[in-house]
Amino acid sequence: GAGVSQSPSNKVTEKGKDVELRCDPISGHTALYWYRQSLGQGLEFLIYFQGNSAPDKSGLPSDRFSAERTGGSVSTLTIQRTQQEDSAVYLCASSGGQISGNTIYFGEGSWLTVV
Amino acid sequence: AQSVTQPDIHITVSEGASLELRCNYSYGATPYLFWYVQSPGQGLQLLLKYFSGDTLVQGIKGFEAEFKRSQSSFNLRKPSVHWSDAAEYFCAVVSGGSNYKLTFGKGTLLTVNP
């Protein structure tokens, strides 16, 4: 597609359940990022992929959060045993490489509500 | 650690008025600086970026920003605001020489009155 695509766009889940959020980056983009946007914390970096490798996962809040990327394309962010504080918008972004020579394009986000 | 401060949480302007959104950063070396806009229910769209060179940067939608090293600022300006500019604006800096991790300010919500 023309832009970064995320699914689902909205997800309501019960506390304790696992959720998977999917990101389809722009075709050919080698770099992929996940950010979280919440009222209290603003926009926070979660993880960065270069190809299928994640050289920086320092922003993942806890071991309940994990992410993978396959085929240098699609990425999945998984949250296990969701908690109410996980409620946020999860934004995926991609770029053709590192920031200095490329533009980062963001998707519209996956709105997660944990009840 | 790098940080970005947007002092104004909410700004209201009248349509046709000029606009300036403030951004201050804390970063030791020459920063890479960005302004993004987010409309309700939408993702982030890049307005403009500064890496080096001319300190006055032109962006999309008639926006510009000026990098002032002495003031550690990167303020966003527009000479005449349109109702469609109502949105939230985020200033960001690349963190710690990583060349991939953005640190965002808390955002400024812009309301445009007719």
Token representation of residue A79: 């949250």
Percent of chain B's residues with pLDDT above 70: 96
| Residue B96 banded pLDDT, cuts 50, 70, 90 | low
CA B70, chain centre distance (Å): 18
- How many beta carbons lie within 10 A of that of residue A73, not counting itself? 18
Task: Please tell me if residue B6 touches chain A, with a CB cutoff of 8 Å.
Answer: no
The predicted pLDDT at position A40 comes to: 74
Asked if B100 lies within 8 A of A31 by C-beta distance, the reply is yes
Q: Which of the two residues, B96 and B3, has the higher pLDDT score?
A: B3
Contacts of A93 in chain B (CB under 8 A): 44
| Angstroms from B36 CA to nearest CA on chain A | 10
The upper half-sphere exposure of residue B108, i.e. CA atoms within 13 Å in the direction of its Cβ, equals 25
- In this complex, which of B43, B100, B107 lies closest to A42 when CB atoms are compared? B107
- Kindly identify which residue of chain A lies nearest to residue B39, measuring between CA atoms: A108
Please give the average per-residue pLDDT across A39-67, as a whole number: 93
Q: From the list B32, B41, B107, which residue is nearest A99 (CB)?
A: B32
pLDDT single digits (tens) B80-89: 999 999 999 9
Please tell me the distance from the alpha carbon of residue B5 to that of residue B74, in angstroms, as a whole number: 10
CB A75 within 8 A of CB A68: yes
